[in-house]
Amino acid sequence: MKYLPFGRTGLMVSQLALGTGNFGTGWGHGADPDTSEAIFNAYADAGGNFIDTADVYQFGQSEEILGALLDGRREDFVVATKFTRGAAPNANRLVTGNSRKAMVASVEASLRRLKTDRIDIYWAHYPDSVTPAEEIVRGFEDLARAGKILYAGLSNFPAWRLSRIVTLAELTRVVPVAAAQFEHSLVHRQPEADLFPASDALGLGVVTWSPLGGGMLTGKYRQGEKGRAEGFGGRVFQPENSGQRTSVLDTVLLIADELGVGADHVAIAWAETHGAVPMIGPRSPEQLASNLGALAVELSSDQLDRLDAVSSLDPTAPARDHVPRAGGKSPRVVIA
């Protein structure tokens, strides 16, 4: 596993993050504690040190399972969690959203479930379209000054909201809003138009979720598998519902065959070329082992050109320069 500095922080994080939305069965679809432990240990054995969860994942079970798994090795990992939706199926409106009250209630509950005294990166899961930017910044500051969180992050925020909140935090010299998280894959490239450039300009560490399009880019749904197509009610899933998406998957499968690797290896390796930390979310040790295979894949310039061209939002756009970071900056990496 390689390690790189996360944005303008001093954190050195592994090149792939482990998303734990599948840790638990509270949603009726996921991994039991023993399976979750096997996934966690295999990721750690591979050198992974970046764990991402949320209070809402499996209605709190993900954090609870992680709390047990972190016992005795808390300092080996960067632990990130999120708030906004609450951990209960029908959470009270006063403990949901982005308000300071929701932050305080949520962080205390997450700390208890995670069995830790602080959260390394605390994400607002998504904007509630009500709470002012100033209140979000002040809430993060309160938590940081109380020692409950080290860094703040914004997940699924549009670029204009992201820019305003980060700028307010900079001007008021409060807690560093250090990170952005958003969906990005060969079938969801919209963030390249605004979120990637904004994050790069603001010096944010970037985590991208669903690099496999909810599993679509593995090709497994062509074989009749269901997975996230049904398991999460069809959410966080990109269907093969257009001619372009069919062409994208065809190209991924063709390149995978050329390299003698899995389709997931190609999709994850492509996502890594954008300077972000792609987040994988396996439901079994076998899926994890396959996803980690992407670490050994190096796509050629020709293969990157083909993937870029077939997935382009603008078919008339020229091929990009192949740099590992938006803005042309190469991240410093350390190989374990």
Residue numbers annotated as active site: 57
CB of 336 closer than 8 Å to CB of 44: no
Structural tokens at position 162? 């992201």
State how far the alpha carbon of 36 is from the alpha carbons of 20, 32, 39, 58, 105, in Å: 8, 6, 5, 12, 27
Amino acid making up residue 145: R
Residue 18, Cβ neighbours under 10 Å: how many? 26
The Cβ-side half-sphere exposure at 55, using a 13 Å CA radius, reads 29
Dihedral angle over CA of 176, 22, 36, 83, nearest 10: 30
Of the CA atoms within 13 Å of residue 295, those in its CB half-sphere come to 22
Decide: 114 and 143 in contact? Cβ < 8 Å: no
Q: Are 5 and 11 in contact (CB under 8 A)?
A: yes
Cα gap 249→283, rounded to integer Å: 22
Residues in the chain: 336
Q: Which residue has the tokens 């985590």?
A: 207
Q: Which helix (H) or strand (E) covers residue 33, if one does? A: helix 33-45
**CB within 8 A of 157, min separation 6: which ones?**
124, 126, 127, 165, 180, 182
Structure tokens at 290: 């396959």
Contact 188, 159 (CB under 8 A): no
Q: State the amino acid at position 106 in one-letter form.
A: S
Structure tokens at 179: 């990170």
